Structure 1
Amino acid sequence: MATPKKETVGWREVVALPELGITGIPAKIDTGARTSSLHANNIELFERDGEEVARFDLDFGEGKPFRHCEAVRVAHRTITSSNGLAQERLIVKTILAMGGQEFRAEFSLADRSDMVFPMLIGRTALRRRFLVNPGRSFLVSNRDDTKEEFL
């Protein structure tokens, strides 16, 4: 049986989080990061139907609209950021749509306000699905699909 051909993504793509109702998110593809990360503020936990749920705001700053979101809490993990500092972060799981694929992915919720991209997609989400061409951008998406609130 032949292995399915993997799509090749660039170092940046435009993606969506359909369960959260968000499209047109600019994302950095980062094979150096194990866990994907999503910019979030006002994070709180509550229980619904015996399941722990995270409520948070996706706030992209400077007068841009923000969105209240909820996602199932998966865990707390210690994540080491690019500056070498380790911090405890909440991990949630939701569907990620990228290139013609939709799949469940884990995201650490973090303050990424000082970063260029509100989302980082790490190697765990990419594994067995995509190849990465670090010299190209927008191979499975269109830069023009970025929503106004992210510009």
Structure 2
Amino acid sequence: MKTFDHLNVIGLREWIGLPGLGIDQVMAKVDSGAKTSALHASDIVTFERDGQPWVRFNAHIGSRNKQRKQYCEAQLVDFKRVKSSNGQLQERHVIRTPLVLGDRCWWVDFTLTCRKAMRYRVLLGCTAMLDGQLVINPGLRFVQDKPQTSLFIEG
């Protein structure tokens, strides 16, 4: 039997940080069926900074019962056509930002979309898991410690 010694184990739900967006902690649903990660965002506006496309938006990082928003700006890296969970094709803005999970940090692409009907405001897709060398134990939740985003320098 093969082992996964070089991979980090995560559960179906984990606390992550997005320090490039000013988000210290947000609960994420791990979804190996989704290729790209997604962030619940509203009021999305594109603009130009230093000749490059950027986007500003409100990231919704609280729960449905305890709503919280974080104003964010990030460089726009792409637009992507995504089939949503209800089967509809959507054109979404794509940003790239550092993600902190446990004691690790790496760059992850997120699509910006409305997830207000969803229980979790952040979805962690399989590309982020591959890049982070993660393996999922579906019987576990919150395997990793809450992120310490202050340990990682934005950049």
Q: TM-score, normalised by structure 2?
A: 0.85
Unaligned runs of 5+ in 2: 149-155
Provide the rounded CA distance (Å) in 2 between the counterparts of 1:120 and 1:27.
5
Find the counterpart in structure 2 of residue 120 from structure 1: 123
2:115 aligned with 1:73: no
Letter in 1 for 2:138: P
Find the counterpart in structure 2 of residue 23 from structure 1: 24
Provide the rounded CA distance (Å) in 1 between the counterparts of 2:23 and 2:92.
22
Find the counterpart in structure 2 of residue 149 from structure 1: none
Q: How many residues align?
A: 141
Task: Write out per-residue CA displacement over residues 56-99 of structure 1, whole angstroms, 9 at most, x where no aligned residue.
Answer: 00134667342210011011110011221111111111111012
Q: TM-score, normalised by structure 1?
A: 0.87
Instruction: Provide runs of 4+ in structure 1 moved above 6 Å.
Output: none
Letter in 2 for 1:110: T
2:91 aligned with 1:88: yes
Shift of residue 134 of structure 1? Answer: 1.0
Secondary structure in 2 matching 1:89: strand
Provide the rounded CA distance (Å) in 1 between the counterparts of 2:27 and 2:114.
16
Percentage of matched positions with identical amino acids: 37
Provide the rounded CA distance (Å) in 2 between the counterparts of 1:62 and 1:134.
26
2:108 aligned with 1:105: yes
Find the counterpart in structure 2 of residue 135 from structure 1: 139
Find the counterpart in structure 2 of residue 44 from structure 1: 45
